[in-house]
Amino acid sequence: MTITKYDTLWENYYSNYRNVASPLRRPSLFKWLYNSYIFLHLSCVDTSNVHRLADFKTCLAMVDTAVDDSCDNASLIEKNGGDKFSYEMLNMLYNADKVASGIYTPLQPNMDNIYVKTTFDIFSDFLGTHVISFPRYYDFRSEFFLAIRNVAESMEFSYLLNRNKIAYPYSLVVQNKGPSTMVEVLSILDLMSSESFDASELGKAIALFKMADVVAMLNNAVNTWKKEIIERDYSSPVISLALEKKLVKFSDFEKISAENIEENLSPLPEMINDDLNKKILLMEEFVENYEIKSFDASKYINNYRTYAFESQRKNKQVCKKYCELS
């Protein structure tokens, strides 16, 4: 029997990732994601697979986080070489099918950047060793890799917005940022592990997953916008809405304190939260019009509603505790 250092695969991966990660990417983030994924799964998944799937989803979320930081964390990008670094990271996602098959060709043949190499090692091991073992991997592999390419496209959009400092309309930012939270990708992992899912319902399921992606992304925006001010991530929906409403200018991030910018933007998260709730209502309307029999779509929607409520409640508690200690 092989004895591993940690009980979960994600913890083993994190033992390497933490050496290159942003200081903000603490193990508590991935522990929280792991616990969330135990809760966020399709009802067609056998209960015996839930914890294993949560572990695998956390591994993929770690790769997602690593690539996301390489596209919207200004100091990390500068530290690792700028444009070449970001596109090397994106290239892995755009060519995930080749990574899984072991025929991936990096943009920089020597791949000497330790951040890039660490992320690639995690991603290639996860895809080539673990995902390929799912019972219905070959049934849904094409949709899985297309969804990952959509994630890459979303992150490239964020990178270009940040690099060029372009104020896109909030609606376009939401449209393009949706896939970045990987909900569609992770939900397809559920399908790959489900023997009972009827493949003829795949189109309806993916449409629902894409809507859930937007809900998760908006929820993430409501909870992380203060961090994104510090990181100068202008692709944050909160910041993009502020730029659109001219509450802040790009130059303000260079000369005005983060605290003062927070004060100017403080009404916006509630507006975005209203948008999030409207998206959930659209999901409910969708499943009324397009019945899905292979899993409980209403439960899936309610899971994301509860997830949004709980994560925002937790975020408020953390902020309150921080203020009391300050």
Does residue 22 register a pLDDT over 60?
yes
The reported pLDDT for the residue numbered 258 is 82
Lowest mean pLDDT among 123-137, 212-226, 309-323: 309-323
Tokens of 99: 């990574």
pLDDT digits (tens, 9 = 90+) for 245-296: 888 888 888 888 888 888 888 889 889 999 999 999 999 999 999 999 999 9
pLDDT at 310: 65
**Cα–Cα distances in Å, from 51 out to 37, 41, 57, 292, 302?**
8, 10, 10, 24, 20
State the average pLDDT over residues 143-167.
94
pLDDT confidence of residue 309: 60
> What's the confidence (pLDDT) of residue 224?
85
pLDDT at 325: 35
Confidence band for 195, pLDDT divided at 50, 70 and 90 = very high
Q: Is the pLDDT of residue 124 over 90?
A: yes
Structural domains of the chain, ranges and CATH numbers in brackets: 9-250+259-325 (1.10.600.10)
Q: What are phi and psi of 46, to 5 degrees?
A: -65, 135
Model pLDDT, residue 112: 80
| pTM for the predicted model, two decimal places | 0.88
Mean pLDDT of 107-121: 87
Residue 126 DSSP symbol: I
Q: Among 182, 284, 176, which residue's Cα sits nearest to residue 234?
A: 176
Which of 64, 247, 82, 61 has the alpha carbon at shortest distance from 159? 82
Residue 188: the pLDDT is: 97
What is residue 315's predicted lDDT score, i.e. its pLDDT?
A: 53
More confident call, 117 vs 167 = 117
Q: How far apart are CA 304 and CA 216, in angstroms?
A: 8
- pLDDT for 108 equals 78
Q: How sure is the predictor about 1, in pLDDT bands with cuts at 50, 70 and 90?
A: very low
State the Cα–Cα distance between residues 155 and 90, nearest whole angstrom. 8
CA distance 193 to 311: 27
- CA 44 to chain CA centroid, Å, is 23
For residue range 43-52, list pLDDT tens digits in order.
999 999 999 9
Q: What is the rounded distance in angstroms from the CA atom of residue 247 to the CA atom of residue 268? A: 10
pLDDT for residue 318: 39
pLDDT digits (tens, 9 = 90+) for 49-91: 999 999 999 999 999 999 999 998 888 999 998 999 999 999 9
